[in-house]
Amino acid sequence: MVREKSIAAMKRLWLSVIILTISVAGQAEAIELLPHMSAPSVEQPPVAPNTEQPAPVNAAVEIGLVIKLSERRVYVYRGDRIEKSFPIAIGRRGWETPTGKFKVLHMERDPIWEHPLNGQVIPPGPNNPLGARWIGFWTDGRNYIGFHGTPNERLVGQAVSHGCIRMRNRDIEALYEMVKVGTPVTVEP
């Protein structure tokens, strides 16, 4: 009975507090719970819209991604075995895709895209340059690089992006289901 009263009190308290979440850039953002929103359960932290929580750790061998820029392909490894590969578009001259070892930082279904130069916001849909999914793996705190779909699938296989890894929408949707936040990403020349 005391525990039930404590939980009820905590839920009421959630309605009047500001929840701090950490954004991909590592900066705190404040999200205020509105009166029409229900309080989160005591067991579950709040989730930002359109973002994915890390998948439960599988006891089986973990997935890893290797991007081979010279081949314009991403390879999905389970342990040391190639499970799948997909063709990709990479960063063009002056906007090269960074090489090195990274991890998946952020995943988003039906992403919204904001033009970096003029601030125009493109909602999810067939004209969104990010396509159907976003899997971010690099940031300098202001700019982001990741895997995403594209409405111009004929450009896959070319060096045309601003550093991101463009994929056919059906391929990014398949890759999205195979990875989780924390999945290792290696980018090789």
Catalytic residues: 148, 164
How far apart, in whole angstroms, are the C-alpha atoms of residue 39 and residue 50?
18
Contact 92, 74 (CB under 8 A): no
Can you list the pairs that 154-157 forms with residues at least 24 positions away whose Cβ atoms lie under 8 Å? 155/89, 156/87, 156/88, 156/89, 157/72, 157/87, 157/88, 157/89
